[in-house]
Amino acid sequence: MEQAQDVASRLHISNVDHPFLTTKQSNFLVVVTYKEINLSNGQAYYEGVAKSAIDEIYAKYTVAPAIPLGNIYFLSIDEFELLSEAVCAKKIGFAEALEKAKVADNDIHTKKFDFSLHLSS
């Protein structure tokens, strides 16, 4: 998470004129893990595991807006591969999938326990 916030900050202050390297209004972070860790998004990670560590990271990087906790997803390698297959098959775009998951996770009635449940829906 610190590396992602560092990159977001560097992009924010850079003057690079390239469509893939421009500052976005809101960034996403996908953390790919070797096994399922049962964290839906960054908000769950923050509240359940790493509040003080994340607070420290965000305090270091004040130049750019912090990556919103609701925009951070933890995917197992299997979930990432399934998402990649759906993107390659043009069933959904990568950013679109993350945005749909975020919208669903903002409502207690549609919030998912892990990303595989978003993939199946």
Tell me, letter by letter, the H, E, C secondary structure of 94-118. HHHHHHHHHHHHCCCCCCCCCHHHH
Of the chain, the percentage scoring pLDDT greater than 90 comes to 45
Structure-model confidence comparison of residues 38 and 44, the more confident one: 44
3-state secondary structure of 33: strand
- What pLDDT score does 23 carry? 59
- Integer Cα distance of 91 and 105 in angstroms: 21
- Other Cβ atoms less than 10 A from the Cβ of 74: the count is 21
pLDDT at 72: 93
Q: Is 38 helix (H, G, I), strand (E, B) or coil?
A: coil
Mean pLDDT for the chain overall: 87
- Domain span including residue 58: 2-120
Give the highest mean pLDDT range of 3-12, 34-43, 52-61. 52-61
Q: Is 27's pLDDT higher than 90?
A: no
* Other Cβ atoms closer than 10 A to 38: 11
State pLDDT tens for residues 71-118: 999 999 999 999 999 999 999 999 899 999 999 998 889 988 888 888
Number of domains observed in the structure of the chain: 1
pLDDT at 63 over 90: no
